[in-house]
Chains A and B, each alone.
Chain A
Amino acid sequence: MSLQLPRKRTILAWHRWLGLASALFLLSLSITGLALNHTEFLKLDQVQIKSSVILDRYGMASGSSIDAYRIHKSDTLAHLNGQLFYNNAPLASADRPLGIIEGAPISVVATEAQLIYLTTDGEFVESIDSSQLPYTTLDAVGTTTDGRPLLISSAGNWTPDADWIEFDQYQASYNVAPLETITLDEASANSLLDAFQGGGVSLYRVLLDLHSGRLFGWGGRTLMDLSAIAIIILITSGIGGWLRKSRRQKTPQIT
């Protein structure tokens, strides 16, 4: 059984269209490859990218994703990318706060699935989740008519004891006040971003991920894989075509 090779015209057509289709990716591969080869000279690792478009690709936050709240009169509680900060110092991993209950000696930050306890100086005391709470998901934070804090959930409403250890069900009327956000000044926002993710992402890292396609997730990586395969096919079909042409030129023509 003999392998039926494609005709010359078919190979040429494939070579042409494959070359055109992969040109952009090959260009990106070449340019980024050249730049990466001269990282030290171009100082790529010293250039920090802070563009929100690029930072988003790395799951990093930009200034616009900070939610800030006032706590203990003059202090700041901020939420950024699943992390809480007290005056820019990391406090705990948590969702966005639904309420802040100030007290002494303990203040509490309530999120959908967690209660984070802290001192009046912002020192972390402990964090408890739904496995130690009487509800699974918190809907809101309110106050009872006599001023006690109230945790409102679909599983019922709950008032904590003085140490926030035990929770009693509460069925009377209550008030709910939405948690007010504040706007951080630019210096505080930048300081918070620096504390959370450093100075951004280096140009070296961006080029490296552009080179491998990882900057665009699985799609980019697959395209770069296909481009690499396209190079192999282009080389093979190019050399094959050239060999065929040169063999034909060497063969004496019968007149």
Chain B
Amino acid sequence: MHPRLTTPLLALVLWLQFGSSMHAIEDVYLEPETFIAQSFESEPERKVLWLTKDLKASIKQVLGRDYRGMRIRYWQQGERTAWILEEIGKVKLITTGFVIEGDAMHSMQVLIYRESHGWEVRYPFFTDQFKGLELGEKNRLNKKIDGISGATLSVNALTRLSKLALHLHKEATAQ
């Protein structure tokens, strides 16, 4: 084969080969145990919230789907609770940590991101919107969360999770 053809052909084959094999990897932004340690001044109490039939029904209203499982772990110190929840963005789970105090969101952080797109949701310009968020009537948030172009599904997933965290906090602190 003519040497002038060899290089572009080889480049084409390599591009066909490796261009399609790019895949998403798991990005750990903050280890869950570090998130818990950072969220409280001293060692919090580790608790579980058992999901009764009524609670599962209300979770379905908040989340828009059934929650699989019968109990959810959380950490509590006084009025403050922390939750590590997971929700699928497009095809993979996003692990997110929520700290709630007095029925309002204190902070939200994306801990592990596994999708190939939409990782911009980890940045403070997005997560800061969740500070002070409260769950009102008909499970509506008191503030509108601005989306990010190209990360709509991840934004929606995190908005759903924030509603769930606020709802679970209410249930847990009411017990």
Contacts and interface: CB of A to CB of B under 8 A. Distances in A.
Interface of A: 6, 14, 117, 119, 123-128, 131-132, 163, 165-166, 218, 221-222, 225-226, 229, 233
Contacts of A119: 70
B48 A131 contact: no
Given A222-B13, A225-B16, A126 B72 contact: yes
The secondary-structure label for the interface of chain A is mixed
B44 interface: no
B31 interface: yes
Contact of B70 (A125, A132, A229): A125
Given A124-B69, A126-B70, A132-B73, A218 B17 contact: yes
A126 B71 contact: yes
Nearest to B35: A131
Contacts of B23: none
Classify the secondary structure of B's interface with A: mixed
Interface of B: 1-2, 9, 12-13, 16-17, 21, 31-33, 46-48, 68-73, 84
Q: Which of A126, A128, A163, A233 has the most CB of B within 10 A?
A: A126
B6 to A, nearest CB: 12
Contacts of A222: 13, 16-17
Given A131-B31, A165-B47, 20 more contacts: A117-B71, A123-B70, A124-B69, A124-B70, A125-B69, A126-B48, A126-B69, A126-B70, A127-B69, A128-B73, A131-B32, A132-B32, A132-B33, A166-B46, A218-B17, A221-B16, A222-B16, A225-B16, A226-B13, A233-B1
Contact of A125 (B17, B33, B71, B84): B71
Nearest to B111: A131
A23 to B, nearest CB: 18
A165 B46 contact: yes
A14 B68 CA distance: 63
B21 A218 contact: yes
Nearest to B28: A131
A165 B32 contact: no
Contacts of B84: 131
